[in-house]
Amino acid sequence: MEYRIEKDSLGEVKVPADKLYGAQSQRSIDNFPIGIEKMPKEVIEAFAVLKKAAALANNKLGVLDDVRMKAITQAADETLEGKLDGNFGLAVWQTGSGTQSNMNVNEVFANRANQILNDADNKVHPNNHVNKSQSSNDTFPTAMHITAVLLLEDSVLPALREFKNTLAKKSAQYMDLVKTGRTHLQDATPLTLGQEISGWVRMLERCEEMILSSLEYLRDLGLGGTATGTGLNAAVGFDVEVAAQIAGITGKNFKTAPNKFHSLTSKDELVFAHGALKALAADLLKIVNDIRWLAAGPRCSLGELTIPANEPGSSIMPGKINPTQCEAVSMVVAQVMGNDVTVGFAASQGNFELNVYMPVLIFNFIQSARLLADCMKAFNEKCAAGLEANEARINDLVSNSLMNVTALNPYIGYDKSAEIAKKAHKDGSTLKAAAMALGYLSEEEFEKYMDLKSMCAPKTVKVK
């Protein structure tokens, strides 16, 4: 491999000749050979957005010339287009402020800008020009917020809405199909399959609302606070202008944070947003667990739902179909729950004017958002869309449920109704047979009161 010599404030460093990064990037590669986890591409793309925005803002404010501004913005655009791939992605396990990743971008943009300009009299410097009016301490928090907003708005919410719409259609399709309700994994009063699914729909609606709420806090950007929140060495008005530029580039509603001291040291907004993702994960697990319970069988368990046969379920048992999509979602949920612990702990750390756990925090946030978006999309397409009710099985189970006796409470009271249920269970008979044997109801009265569909909604019973 061929090398070139790059210099920084600590001296000379050998850098691969085919790479655009410089001395500080190479030092990070050499000093942090930890794990295989690299800074996610979403963070690099967010840095490209903010560096472009910073160059435009600095130019507008008269502190960066047109020539350098255009070269830096071109480098940013090339990064967003994937043309500079292979020059980024330092280890996640680096300085807690993300300084090396900020400098990685600064160095790559400066060297690429110098290639573009090919002008010895107008050199672009990574610190003096690409990082102008900035510090790693305000750029990394800003990149985190940009990343989070783009992932939530462009990946998580669209996948959630598609899944929600599929379930809403299923709910409407089966709104009149009466089935056995279950509480404590035991038989309970009936409801319709559509009503049961409507609960899942509402879970997703509520999660959508919570994610949207968390987005409003993530729109605040700390860029312009520089090293400690004071804005030292930033042009006057840079914070407002750069936020406007970022909003224009992304098409998202970003704005400058009202208090940069908060933005640099606190990560509460990301904790809150990841909390909404954890709530989504919790509801997804409830939904897929319900589906795999209801689809259990197909002959020797509940068997009320039929799931799509996507692949053979066993290497030894022919014809077996397993709820694999449910299992994949449940594993994603386990990962998101673990990530939430890391996000919360990371946000609680750091001292005085800076949080120093930012790379691991955003790494876990990104993984949660990616996994949730992907698993909802896969589950929706490969399982939810193909869910079908086994109406014969549903009708058979609901007609034999002892808890249907609850319909008799308003007419003969709780104690007599309980006696009917116990006798039917002991004798292996029907509720009607037990009620008639005990002399509490005639056949005509039983048929009148035992209306399963009417049990699926409130009703007023006038007792004589």
40 and 70 share a domain?
yes
- Domain C-terminal end among 360, 392, 424: 392
> CA–CA distance from 7 to each of 14, 32, 69, 74, 125 (Å)?
9, 19, 23, 24, 12
- Residue 356: which pLDDT band, with cuts at 50, 70 and 90? very high
288, 179: one domain: yes
Domain end among 132, 152, 168: 132
Task: Tell me which residues are annotated as active site.
Answer: 184, 314
The pLDDT, as a whole number, for residue 350 is 86
**CA–CA distances in Å: residue 461 to residues 113, 129, 409, 455:** 80, 79, 10, 12
Task: Quick: pLDDT tens for 176-190.
Answer: 999 999 999 999 999
Pairing of strands 388-389, 305-306: antiparallel
- Considering only CA atoms, give the Rg of the chain: 30
Is residue 463 domain-resident? Answer: no
pLDDT (tens digit, 9 = 90+) per residue, 40-72? 999 999 999 999 999 999 999 999 999 999 999
Name the amino acid, one letter, at 415.
D
Q: Are residues 155 and 203 in the same domain?
A: yes
Q: Is residue 42 in a domain?
A: yes
CA-CA distance, 313 to 253, in Å (whole number)?
A: 46
Conformational region of residue 352, where left means phi above 0, alpha means psi within -120 to 50, and beta covers everything else: left
Residues 6+ apart with CB under 8 A from 208: 157, 160, 161, 164
Residue 50's CB: how many other CB atoms inside 10 A? Answer: 31
* Claim to verify: residue 407 and residue 261 sit in the same structural domain: no
CA nearest neighbour of 176 among 156, 195, 204: 195
- Co-location of 128 and 146 in the same domain: no
Question: 190-237, pLDDT tens digit by residue?
Answer: 999 999 999 999 999 999 999 999 999 999 999 999 999 999 999 999
Neighbours of 2 (CB within 10 A): 6
Name the one residue in this structure whose structure tokens are 């900020």: 102
Please, which pLDDT band fits residue 464 given cuts at 50, 70 and 90?
low
Q: Which of 286, 289, 287, 294 lies closest to 397, judged by CA? A: 294
pLDDT tens digit sequence for 114-137: 999 999 889 999 999 999 999 999
Number of C-beta neighbours around residue 240 at 10 A = 13
Q: What value does the mean pLDDT take over residues 361-376?
A: 98
Average pLDDT over residues 13-37: 97
CATH code at 406? Answer: 1.10.40.30
- In the chain, the number of structural domains is 3
**Domain-embedded: residue 365:** yes
The answer to whether 252 and 219 are in contact (CB under 8 A) is yes
Contact 263, 141 (CB under 8 A): yes
Domain membership flag for residue 360: yes
% of the chain at pLDDT higher than 70: 99
Q: Kindly report, residue by residue over 285-316, the tens digit of the pLDDT.
A: 999 999 999 999 999 999 999 999 999 999 99
Residue 460 has a pLDDT of 75
Residue range of the domain that includes 419: 401-456
* Position 72 in a domain: yes
Are 220 and 364 in a shared domain? yes
Per-residue tokens: 394: 């549903």
Residue 62 within any structural domain of the chain? yes
- Look up the CATH number of the domain holding residue 37: 1.10.275.10
- pLDDT, average across residues 320-348: 98
| Residue 324 counted as domain residue | yes
Does residue 423 sit in the same domain as residue 364?
A: no
Here the CATH number for the domain that contains residue 297 is 1.20.200.10
Same-domain status, 164 and 65: no
Q: Do 195 and 111 share a structural domain?
A: no
Q: Report which DSSP code applies to 386.
A: G
pTM: 0.96
Using CA atoms, how far apart are residues 84 and 68, in angstroms rounded to an integer?
A: 18
Domain final residue, candidates 392, 423, 442? 392
